Amino acid sequence: MFVTYVRIHHGLQQKGDTMHSGPTHATAGLHPLDFIGDHLAIDFINTLRTPDGVLYDVFETDKDVRDWLFHAGVSTPKEPVRWPQGALLWKARQLREIALKAVEAMKAGKRPSLDTLNLFLEHAASHPQLVMRPGSKIEIKRVRGSRTLEEFLSPIAEAVAELLADGDFDLIRHCEGEECSLWFYDRTKAHRRRWCSPAACGNRAKVAAFRARVKANAN
């Protein structure tokens, strides 16, 4: 199934600081690296990352997961849900780990284990519904429930499934930044994308190359 999502324009509020030894986290705003993956499933995987070599988790609370889904343009059921506190966070992190392991296996030319994702999808039921649009145009809408956490996270699980089934893994790559763990789907025309962001790792590499040149000239 094709899952639509909107691209977020960056240059927004910086998030987190790098002074902690554990995962860093701040409570509000989007980080410029939040949606650089060019695929919903990859952006989801990228919510755990190591900018500047420091582990950073976008998801620290249930609200973080909901906010991220909102910013990713994923529509979620409106009705109030009453899961135990932390349950959504736990399930989202579980799905993220499943997705990351599968992508890493694919990149390593190994067979990913599909059982865990299939089990997730089994509990992520949704159904099509016909709706009449203005002008009597009939459209098919996908109706998702929120009885289970898997249903709530089903757009992500399906995006991961779609990536594994249809993704071109030559174009799914790591940023070349030395300590950067971000993934992206290279959709550039020439397929020569190297960085998570030209402003982040691309710029760091440029500065490092410039310093090396200066040092070489000085010697």
- Residues lying near Zn ion in the complex (CB under 5 A) are found at 175, 177, 180, 182, 196, 201
What is the nearest approach in angstroms of Zn ion to the Cβ of residue 179?
8
What is the nearest approach in angstroms of Zn ion to the Cβ of residue 37?
11
In the complex with Zn ion, the residue whose CB is nearer, 168 or 178, is 178
Q: CB of 146 within 8 A of CB of 152?
A: yes
Instruction: Give Cβ neighbours of residue 76 (< 8 Å, ≥ 6 apart).
Output: 66, 69, 70, 144, 146, 152, 155
Instruction: Give Cβ neighbours of residue 94 (< 8 Å, ≥ 6 apart).
Output: none
In the complex with Zn ion, the residue whose CB is nearer, 168 or 176, is 176
Instruction: Give Cβ neighbours of residue 102 (< 8 Å, ≥ 6 apart).
Output: 112, 113, 114, 117, 160, 164
In the complex with Zn ion, the residue whose CB is nearer, 152 or 183, is 183
What is the nearest approach in angstroms of Zn ion to the Cβ of residue 149?
31
In the complex with Zn ion, the residue whose CB is nearer, 42 or 196, is 196
| CA 102 – CA 112 distance, rounded (Å) | 5
As beta bridge partners, residue 131 has 139
Closest by CA position to 1, among listed 74, 92, 57 = 74
What is the nearest approach in angstroms of Zn ion to the Cβ of residue 7?
18
In the complex with Zn ion, the residue whose CB is nearer, 95 or 175, is 175
What is the nearest approach in angstroms of Zn ion to the Cβ of residue 183?
10
| CA 177 – CA 200 distance, rounded (Å) | 9
In the complex with Zn ion, the residue whose CB is nearer, 156 or 180, is 180
Q: Where are the alpha helices (DSSP H) in the chain?
A: 40-45, 62-71, 87-107, 115-122, 149-152, 154-166, 203-218
What is the nearest approach in angstroms of Zn ion to the Cβ of residue 201?
3
